[in-house]
Amino acid sequence: MESSVLQFERISKVYPVPKGGEYVVLEQFDLNIAKGEFVAVIGHSGCGKSTALMIAAGLLPMSGGYVFLKSREIVGPGPDRGVVFQGPSLLPWLSALENVMLGVNQVFPNAPGKQKEDVARYYLHRVGLSESMKKKAADLSSWMK
């Protein structure tokens, strides 16, 4: 579908079960999300919501199907998309700035160090964390994480 920004086509995800057999999380899942559209995916625990999002982020291989972002097939993780997890996943021994720098270094590997730090500082400022940049992640409140 050309107007779709994010498109899931016949996505399947199957996990092997230790005692033999398989557990089907997603089967022939289709979803098209248009530009500007707000979508909420709801369902009971274990129905495949997080699995679909992890596949879209390129963080989890699918068993079958295709995912397209702006008409380009997603085959792995990339800096053009991200996932905000329910629970914060920061490295507690690093500062807020150092944690953000981990991502900035991946997106701009060839940029000068000062430029990368300016990018990280800019986004920390945008979310109201200018005063907390040097705080260790372990010392940040839940909302700050």
> What CATH number did the domain enclosing 68 receive?
3.40.50.300
> Does residue 88 fall inside a structural domain?
no
pLDDT tens digit sequence for 53-100: 989 988 899 999 999 999 999 988 887 887 776 666 788 899 999 999
Task: Please count the residues of the chain.
Answer: 145
CB 90 within 8 A of CB 99: yes
Q: Rounded mean pLDDT of 119-128?
A: 93
Residue 108 and residue 55 in one domain: no
Predicted model pTM:
0.64
Domains identified in the chain, total number: 2
Q: Provide the domain limits for residue 63.
A: 4-73
Percent of the chain with pLDDT over 70: 95
> Does residue 85 fall inside a structural domain?
no
pLDDT tens digit sequence for 78-91: 878 877 766 667 88
Residue 67 and residue 116 in one domain: no
Estimate the crossing angle of helix 113-126 against helix 96-107, to 10 degrees.
120
Residue 48 and residue 102 in one domain: no
Strand order through the sheet with 22-34: 22-34, 4-16, 64-69, 72-73
Residue 44 and residue 11 in one domain: yes
**What's the confidence (pLDDT) of residue 81?**
80
